[in-house]
Amino acid sequence: MSFIERTQSGHVATITINRADKLNALSAEVIAELAATFAALTFESLGGDPASAVRAVVLTGAGKAFVAGADIAAMATMSSAEAGRFSEAGHALCAAIEAAPYPVIAAVNGFALGGGLELALACDFIFAADTAKVGLPEVTLGVIPGFGGTQRLARRIGVGRARELIFTGRTVTAEEAARIGLVNEVMPAGELMARATACAEKIASAGPLAIAAAKRAMLHGSEAPLGPACELERQAFAALFGSDDQRTGMGAFLAKQKATFSGR
């Protein structure tokens, strides 16, 4: 049984977690299938048919949840070793999303709790329906976030706010999440996918090598001192001047035309 649905329009792929009867809870099987889905969307696909290359991804959930959390029924009987392997798989998935050469937009359509919020935090940014609820309630179960939540939440909203949310296990509304910088934008539920897709299409129309370089520089430079981080940017900037995309983009600008990028 497949829990992941993938559709594609142009250069934008939409990945939907569909385990709606369990509020899309992250079992080991869901994590493995989601990881395989992202692994298949490699940057090397640009070397095939440029018209079908994935340049941006929208990640969402079926039904009334984005992901309501990890599968508590499966976790309840895990040994420490089994929990460690489960956490390792979740961390690997989130790291793969974070390091993907294309941006990933989380379209949070409902509950994003525990592992669900951790999954969204691994995405480049988050759009949320006005009905969404988010939080890391793991301490109420006697454990802590296990897929990177203690680290990524603090980096996104600051240590003080992250501590308050994690230590209390409090769930917040989409509006509060936007106010504290946890999500980028809130909109009516019926407009969420159209807004996320439109943003993904805007990204996909830009130079894919440049987008990948910018994402990589921001990821690796975010925790480095300013000097070394700026050197990463300088190197990436210079390297792009050997690409067809750079010549295409600047040539189109000078000719007052719209650029069509090849990803080369």
Quickly count: other Cβ atoms within 10 Å of residue 243's Cβ.
19
Question: Can 33 be counted among the known catalytic residues?
Answer: no
Phi, psi of 53 (to 5 degrees): -65, 135
Task: Print burial letters for 89-112: b (CB count within 10 Å at least 16), e (below 16).
Answer: bbbebbeebbebbbbbbbbbbbbb
8 Å CB contact between 179 and 157: no
Catalytic residue among 88, 98, 118, 185, which? Answer: 118
Tokens of 69: 């959390």
Question: Can 98 be counted among the known catalytic residues?
Answer: no
8 Å CB contact between 264 and 247: no
Residues in the chain: 264
Catalytic residue among 82, 138, 164, 201, which? Answer: 138
How far apart (Å, rounded) are the C-alpha atoms in residues 6 and 193?
14
Quickly count: other Cβ atoms within 10 Å of residue 1's Cβ.
6
Which residue numbers are catalytic? Answer: 118, 138
